């Protein structure tokens, strides 16, 4: 799993995110797109919390 995004440059990752957003939004209403945007923002926030808390959790073992 560590190599999943390890070989992708930051510019390629930005382009991939843009392409993904366009593909996902095809045929959706403005409200549906806004809901998905909120969901993915929340997902990203939660992933950030998990990644920052993980080292703290591992130190207590």
Q: What is the pLDDT of residues 20-43, one digit of tens each?
A: 999 999 999 999 999 999 999 999
Residue 54: band (very low, low, confident or very high) from pLDDT cuts 50, 70, 90: confident
Answer yes or no: is 3 within a domain. no
Answer yes or no: is 54 within a domain. yes
Per-residue model confidence (pLDDT) at position 2? 58
Answer yes or no: is 28 within a domain. yes
Answer yes or no: is 49 within a domain. yes
pTM for the complete prediction?
0.70
Answer yes or no: is 2 within a domain. no
- Split into its structural domains, the chain has a count of 1
Instruction: Provide, rounded to the nearest whole percent, the portion of the chain with pLDDT above 70.
Output: 80
Answer yes or no: is 24 within a domain. yes
Distance CA 22, CA 57 (A): 37
Length of the chain: 61
- 3-state SS class at 43: helix
Mean pLDDT of the residues in the chain: 87
């Amino acid at each position: 799993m560590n190599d999943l995004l390890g070989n992708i440059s930051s510019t390629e990752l930005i382009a991939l995110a843009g392409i993904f957003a366009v593909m996902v939004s095809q045929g959706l209403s403005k409200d549906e797109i806004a809901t998905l945007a909120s969901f993915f923002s929340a997902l990203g926030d939660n992933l950030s919390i998990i990644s920052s808390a993980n080292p703290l959790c591992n130190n207590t073992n």
